[in-house]
Amino acid sequence: MNQVGSAGLVAALAFARSAERATLAFFLMITVAVVALETSILSNDFHTAYVAAHSNKDLPVYYKIAVLWAGQEGSLLFWTWLLSIYGGLAVLLNHRKNRQLMPYVVAIILATGVFFTSVTFFVANPFSVLSVERAGGLLPLHPPEGNGLNPSLQYHPMVIHPPMLYLGYVGFVVPYAFAISALITKQLADNWIRVTRRWAMVPWMFLGVGIRWDPVENASLLPWLAATAFLHSVMIQEKRGMLKVWNMVLVMATFFLCIFGTFLTRSGIVSSVHAFAQSNIGIFFAVFLGIIIFFSLTLLFLRLDFLKSENRLDSVVSRESGFLFNNWILLAAVFAVLWGTIFPIISKAVEDKTVTVGPPYYNKTALPIGLLLLFLTGAGPLLAWRKTSFQSLRRNFTLPLAVAVVAGAGLFFAGIRDLYPWMALTLAIFVAACVLQEFYKGARTRQKIVGENFAHALYNLTMRNTRRYGGYVIHLGIVLLFVGFAGLAFKTEAKATMDKGDLLRVKDYVLRCEGISKGETPNYLYERAELSIVKDGRALGTVLPEKRLFKASQESISHVALRPSLAQDLYVVLAGNDEDTGKVLIQVFINPLVAWVWMGGLVVFLGTLLAMVPSRIERELEGLRRPVEEAIEEKHAF
């Protein structure tokens, strides 16, 4: 199997040099390598070093599949595989479209593929085998059991977290490839930007789903922020022919930050829970990043004449300037996060002292930036293109502002008086009012003119311009996310050493320890506490937090017991035990509004899907455009 896998990598390298059909061959070959590695993992082939390091016999099958992305070598192969899937899709979906761009698109995607395949094959090969030196020769080593999977990955939500992030990171290669192709071929009319925008939305969505709000996740936050800026400012280019250079820079920056993020997490240059052991792949990534910057900027410079702006900014109070502010704020966020992330490296180089920054830095910078963005999420779409008159401002903002004032006062009297949470919740209500008003007004207008009933009008309104209304749905999702984040300010925790019969009170919850037990599964030993929960005198059943000691790795981890509700999530953790007394240390966290973060994520996801459905307006335009494009194709046919 290992030979087959390696042969797959070699063949992929060979094929990747050629043209479009090779993209499909590249996908097939990498798939062979992935299947080979998964086969080794599933069949417990511990002769393969990667399998021995990250798997064990009694690991459940679904976790065994996840072993593919648990370590350095496997995750690079996984990255390459996703790249080959995106590449294959780009080729298939553009079978008849964008014919002049495609040769270069394929070249860029495959060049990236060659880089990742080379690193996977030559530097971090997942198919290398274990051997021992004995009697002057190398003998193959077949350990009877592997080291086991990292315990923090043996948790359901963690299994899908890395693939989501990778789908995000990798996907930005396609918009980058289209942007570069447009520059090379000088096809810089608005066609490339429509294609790029649609391709950027897919990875943007995956990255958004994959991000956990945590300072350690900086690496994934950076490209997501840059891509968000791009998805907005691209609209100014489409409507007004402005910011052409800027949009190019944003596409390039997004792709650069994706590779940079992979570099950060894979090289161990910044220490984090995600970093694998210090490794030698860093230098290859550094060179690749250098090539990307040099190539992109040189090309951009050579094509500056083709990227002249067709219009100027007319007014400070306009949709354009709303987007510009949005871009500046997102960019400020990128720099703030980047600065905090790479400061340890800079300070080491400049002062020979490593200085790190912690959560207070990110909180202080992220909060005001986030709140400004939240405000624009609601206010931006209400501004008119070019210039917004005072009458229009009054017409659009009166209702949302009134709602916000009432809600703000209500929240204040309800006892929410910390500045940031209060602002976040008030702004969230303001933005929700702005967005819902847009839907309502649009549907009412349609109702009057076309004479449909309200629901029908709402549906047709949305489907006629899916980008606009899908965007609004995403904004509503962002509102829900912010409500969830605001809840973080009100979390409570408590802990106690407990024995059978002991009580623990946290706010209006009472937890009673019903018993402590020990046991084992083929994969791990566990100690389990059974706790019954009573809230306001009402029994809510029991939770079973566990401490698990995995047999293969001899590493232990607390398995959190969770009781979710719309208002607050209850986390119960068995944090430790006292060997002398047999008592257990129980930690309880009450995290308000966490469910809103999940709902927000779901709404953003659905909104993105909606925005990707071709709208009726676009399809009508497409019908007008096609004959023209076909005529151009004729001319260039060979």
Partner 1 sequence: MGGKKLKFAVGIGIILAVVIWEAVAGFQQSKTYYFTVNELISGKTARERVRVGGIVATDSIERHGSQVRFRLAQDASLLPVTYVGTDPLPDTFKGGAQAILEGEYAANGEFRAEKIQAKCASKYQATPPKGD
Sign, Cα dihedral of 549, 553, 557, 559:
negative
* Measured distance CA(282)–CA(384) in Å, rounded: 48
Among 153, 585, 599, 609, binds partner 1 (CB under 8 A): 585
Among 307, 575, 599, 606, binds partner 1 (CB under 8 A): 575
Distance of CA 430 to the CA centre of its chain: 26
Residue 147 near partner 1 by CB under 8 A: yes
Tokens 């430790």 sit at which residue? Answer: 576
DSSP string, 51-101: HHHH--TTS-HHHHHHGGGTSHHHHHHHHHHHHHHHHHHHHHHTSSS-TTT
Nearest residue (CB) to partner 1, 85 versus 317: 317
Half-sphere exposure of 420 (CA within 13 A, CB side): 16
Residue 380 near partner 1 by CB under 8 A: no
Residue 353 near partner 1 by CB under 8 A: yes
Residue 126 near partner 1 by CB under 8 A: no
* Measured distance CA(228)–CA(323) in Å, rounded: 11
Contact 73, 120 (CB under 8 A): yes
Q: Which stretch binds partner 1 (CB under 8 A): 130-138, 204-212, 247-255, 527-535?
A: 130-138
Shortest separation between residue 406's beta carbon and partner 1, angstroms: 27
Shortest separation between residue 556's beta carbon and partner 1, angstroms: 5
> What angle (nearest 5°) sits at the alpha carbon of residue 158, between those of residues 153 and 162?
95
Site string for partner 1, 148-177 (x = CB under 8 A): ---x--------------------------
Q: Which stretch binds partner 1 (CB under 8 A): 388-396, 460-468, 520-528, 553-561?
A: 553-561
Among 43, 185, 311, 356, binds partner 1 (CB under 8 A): 356
* Measured distance CA(515)–CA(529) in Å, rounded: 6
- Count of C-beta atoms within a 10 Å radius of residue 312: 8
Shortest separation between residue 266's beta carbon and partner 1, angstroms: 13
**3-state secondary structure at position 120:** helix
Bridge partner list, 589: 493, 571
- What is the bridge-based pairing of β-strands 131-134 and 137-140? antiparallel
* Measured distance CA(10)–CA(121) in Å, rounded: 8
Among 187, 460, 532, 556, binds partner 1 (CB under 8 A): 556
Site string for partner 1, 61-80 (x = CB under 8 A): ----------xx--------
Shortest separation between residue 363's beta carbon and partner 1, angstroms: 7
Residue 130 near partner 1 by CB under 8 A: yes
Bridge partner list, 584: 498, 577
Tokens 């008159």 sit at which residue? Answer: 389
Q: Which stretch binds partner 1 (CB under 8 A): 165-173, 272-280, 402-410, 465-473?
A: 272-280
* Measured distance CA(279)–CA(284) in Å, rounded: 11
Shortest separation between residue 184's beta carbon and partner 1, angstroms: 33
Provide long-range contacts, Cβ within 8 A and 24+ apart, for 130-138: 130/46, 130/47, 130/48, 130/49, 130/52
Among 14, 291, 304, 355, binds partner 1 (CB under 8 A): 355
Among 42, 89, 123, 332, binds partner 1 (CB under 8 A): 332
Sign, Cα dihedral of 99, 100, 103, 109:
negative
Residue 398 near partner 1 by CB under 8 A: no
Among 89, 100, 558, 598, binds partner 1 (CB under 8 A): 558
**3-state secondary structure at position 586:** strand
Shortest separation between residue 192's beta carbon and partner 1, angstroms: 28
Residue 59 near partner 1 by CB under 8 A: no
Residue 49 near partner 1 by CB under 8 A: yes
Nearest residue (CB) to partner 1, 47 versus 535: 47
Residues in Cβ contact with 635 at an 8 Å cutoff, skipping those fewer than 6 apart: none
Shortest separation between residue 99's beta carbon and partner 1, angstroms: 41
* Measured distance CA(275)–CA(72) in Å, rounded: 9
Judged by CB under 8 A, the chain residues 514 through 533 that form the site for partner 1 are: none
Shortest separation between residue 190's beta carbon and partner 1, angstroms: 25
Applying CB under 8 A, which residues contact partner 1?
Answer: 49, 52-53, 71-72, 128, 130-134, 141, 147, 151, 271, 273, 276-277, 312-316, 321, 324-325, 328-329, 332, 336, 339-340, 344, 353-365, 367-369, 372, 495, 547, 553, 555-558, 575-576, 585, 587
